[in-house]
Every structure is written in structure tokens, then in C-alpha cells.
Structure 1
């Protein structure tokens, strides 16, 4: 983890972040429809998180962006719930504890923003991610909250903050 930093995204990171996300989604065989891959926001991540009570972080290692994640108000939901969104890491940095540090950074900011719960959606075959989410205090839900438009993501989890 030497030389690895988690920092807030800057506008100049847009292209690199979109590249990381798309590369990971392709590597994992994620459907291109009904998931983050199809989100028009991928190319404008800085602008999409430049909102009240939202933030997006990147993991930088030796000057390269190797991972990312953010939080924002859960879309189409009435309640004080944020969503952990678009958390992806290049294969070369997985399994090194960076994901847990990233989640903790996001959850710390969610608490600072005054959210009461954090929600996430993932895919059934993303077992390593689910193991990490459980380790950091998320529990499974029986159905979705809100309407994120990610209908292919049919594993839902929630954590009280």
C-alpha cells in the first residue's frame, strides 16, 4: 500500500475513471445493459458527483488511477439513504485491502453528510465483493430500494450508519 492514496476525484480524472470502470466491467463480464456500463454519467463522473451530499473518490498508485467509488443520495427513494456507487478496482490491486479502506472512506463521508443508511446493488456472481460488503457491515435485502435503473444488479444490501 506504499504510494497508494485515496483522494477525492478531480475534474481532470474523468477520462481515467471512465476507463477503469469500463475495463473492470468488461473483465468481469458484466452486461452492458442494465448496469453501470450503460450509464451516460461514466464520462462525466466529476460533474455527476459535484452535488450536495455526494462525493467520489479515486485510488491512485504511482500516479495512476487504479480504483474508484462514491456515495450519493439513493435515486428515486424518499428517505435519508445514500448509495455506495460505482466501486471498481483494477485486478492488479484487488485483494490488498484497498477495497475495505475505500468503503470506510465512503462511509465516513456518508456519516459526515448525515445519512442514516447506505445501500448498494451488485451482481450475484460478484462473490468477492459481497464478502467485502458483509465484512464492512452490510446485510442482504430481499428486494431493491429506490430505482437506480440497474435492473441487472439483483443483489441488494444495506448498512445502518
Structure 2
């Protein structure tokens, strides 16, 4: 049974390491990705209000084994961007990614959003497979994209 909880400042280092380790594995530790975002080492400062939340999941011994968040995506009406879905290697392939998506979509609905949007990259084939399986449809690149390296874009009606 996964334990979900909202991210706190105490999780900042673990979440930043989780994100960087995953990006590095897929050769995405490059400019134009979240890898180099200034705020990555203190994400709890960014999340934690009604428009933006980040949740972590804990393993049996209390360590952070994954996380997922959302934030308002201003360019699209009633839309939240699904952000930073990452798992430790040990937590991959167990269905947690799909479970995290269900969880965050429920939080998005509770926050009043009608659409989920996300950005990803060709290198992240397992993630793309899960998104498509969860009903996300590929769309053209929005002109407002911040992370220039991302090259695949999806949306789903909530």
C-alpha cells in the first residue's frame, strides 16, 4: 500500500535527486529540461497552494520512492499541467506510475481543473506508453513551452 503525502521542505533533496537521476538515465541531463531549473532544489517553495501541489509516495521504510505534481497551465483554460512524475528504479514496473496519474488527476479535479496537459520527450518511451494508456492524446507543441528540449505534448479531458 503506497503512502501518499504532500511534499514538505524535508523532501526537497530527495525529490531533486529523483528527478536528476531519472533524467540522467535517459540522457536528458541537458539544458532545456528541468534538470537545470534553479528551483529544483527547493520545489516545496513552488508547490503547496491551491493552484500547485506536489505529492510524494513513501516506501515501506519511509523513503521517497516517487512523486508527481500539478500546476495551473495559464495558456489553456481550466488546465493543469501534470508535472514531474518520477519513480526510483526499484519502484518502476510495478504499476505505480499509473496509480500516481490517477491520484494526481483526482487532485486536479478537486482543484477545479477540467483538462490535464503534459510535456515529455521521445527518450521517455515507458512514460509515453503509460500516458497513452491513461487516455492522453498527443497535441501540437504549444508556443508557451518553457522546457525547450521537450518534444512530445499531450492533453486529457478530466
TM-score range, shorter chain: over 0.9
CA contact (8 A) 2:33 2:147 kept: yes
Deviation at 1:5, TM superposition (A): 1.7
Deviation at 1:18, TM superposition (A): 0.8
Moved over 3 A (4+): none
Deviation at 1:26, TM superposition (A): 1.0
Aligned to 2:148: 151
CA distance in 1, matches of 2:92, 2:49: 29
CA contact (8 A) 2:9 2:44 kept: yes
Deviation at 1:30, TM superposition (A): 0.6
Residue aligned with 1:86, SS: strand
TM-score normalised by structure 1 residue count: 0.91
Aligned to 1:32: 30
CA distance in 1, matches of 2:77, 2:39: 23
Deviation at 1:78, TM superposition (A): 4.8
| Unaligned ranges ≥5, structure 2 | none
Q: Deviations over 1:19-68 (max 9, x none)?
A: 11111111121142101111112111111012222110111102111111
CA contact (8 A) 1:74 1:148 kept: no
Aligned to 2:5: 7
CA distance in 1, matches of 2:66, 2:39: 17
CA distance in 2, matches of 1:52, 1:112: 10
| Unaligned ranges ≥5, structure 1 | none
Q: Deviations over 1:88-119 (max 9, x none)?
A: 11111111011111111110000001111110
108-117 or 43-52, which deviates more: 43-52
Residue aligned with 2:103, SS: helix
Matched, 1:65 2:60: no
CA contact (8 A) 1:31 1:152 kept: no
Aligned length: 157
Q: 1:130 aligns with which of 119, 123, 128?
A: 128
